[in-house]
Amino acid sequence: MTTPETPAETPETPQAIVERDGAVMWITLSNPAKKNAINGAMYKGVADALASADADPAIAVAVIKGAGEVFTSGNDVSDFTARKPGEPSPAFVFLDAISTFGKPLIAQVDGLAIGVGCTMLLHCDLVYASDRARLQLPFVNLGLVPEAASSLLLPRLAGHAKAAELMMFGEMFPASEGKEVGIVNAVLPAEALAAHVAERAAALAARPRAAMKLTKALLRDLPADRIKARMAEEGAIFAKCIAGPEFREAATAFREKRAPDFSRIAAES
């Protein structure tokens, strides 16, 4: 079996690559043509992997990482804009899976962690990032609202003022700032990141598993139904935003490789 230390050649087809190394499940987001942007199949692959890990007594820890030198550039915009109205979103299946996963979950973040690539970190127990990692919550800039219950979780973690700054400006910030606000546990040299995560995952896997799961449950200071309710609220608003003029302008500007112009929309509203 290929281990995380000796990865196989990254395939070109977008997918979630699942590997098992002893008691650790490694889940790799792989979409090299789009900086590991996550499409529906990848969301489903991660959700299925987490469900399998949760149900398998032989798995003690799960790790999510990105292929190559990127964690993920976020949603594959072409994928979710092509979805028909009312069609179930694999993204919400993924968010439900990651927010309810009962075992330790580690994120190995190198390079870009944008959009859902950043908000999913709020559901991980441990986040280790490289010194070249860059995080971003660009939702407002795209005419959208945050997801993954991040509008609830980030203010509790970073405080209202800092959460407002990160979400309302939507600017990219370094992993060191992510550590300051509590999203990231540690920032390491890029060349040391994989080995550090492998060591930490192995150390967790050696701990008593029942006690580990109970400890994780106790550390969750928000009821699961409150998180799920916020996700549903954000999702309903998100869906309306996708159908709105601001997102259309942002998507058009992205395709045309220009800066979006929201001034006309504001004047007409």
For the chain, which residues make up each domain, given as ranges?
15-190+209-225
Is the pLDDT reported for residue 8 higher than 50? Answer: no
Residue 83's pLDDT is: 60
Taking residues 173-191, what's their average pLDDT?
A: 98
Is the pLDDT reported for residue 9 higher than 80? Answer: no
State pLDDT tens for residues 10-38: 567 899 999 999 999 999 999 999 999 99
DSSP code, position 185: S
Q: Tell me the percentage of the chain whose pLDDT exceeds 90.
A: 83
Q: How much is the pTM?
A: 0.91
Residue 255's pLDDT is: 87
Residue 80's pLDDT is: 59
Structure confidence at residue 5 as a pLDDT band (50, 70, 90): very low
State pLDDT tens for residues 195-233: 999 999 999 999 999 999 999 999 988 888 999 999 999
- Give φ, ψ of 202 to 5 degrees: -65, -40
**15-190+209-225: what fold?**
2-enoyl-CoA Hydratase; Chain A, domain 1 (3.90.226)
State pLDDT tens for residues 115-127: 999 999 999 999 9
What secondary structure does DSSP assign to 82-136, as a single string? SSPTTPPPHHHHHHHHHHH--S-EEEEE-SEEETHHHHGGGG-SEEEEETT-EEE
pLDDT, averaged across the chain: 92
Is the pLDDT reported for residue 243 higher than 80? Answer: yes
Is the pLDDT reported for residue 85 higher than 70? Answer: no
DSSP code, position 149: T
Q: Which long-range contacts (CB under 8 A, 24 or more apart) does 187-190 make?
A: 187/129, 187/130, 187/131, 187/133, 188/128, 188/129, 188/130, 188/131, 189/130, 189/131, 190/69, 190/110, 190/130, 190/131, 190/132
Residue 3's pLDDT is: 43
CA distance 58 to 60: 6
Residue 45's pLDDT is: 97
User: How many residues make up the chain in this entry?
Assistant: 269
CA distance 11 to 257: 27
Taking residues 248-260, what's their average pLDDT?
A: 90
CA distance 112 to 109: 8
Is the pLDDT reported for residue 4 higher than 60? Answer: no
Per the CB < 8 A criterion, the answer to whether 133 and 173 are in contact is no
Report the range of poorest mean pLDDT among 8-22, 63-77, 112-126, 127-141. 8-22
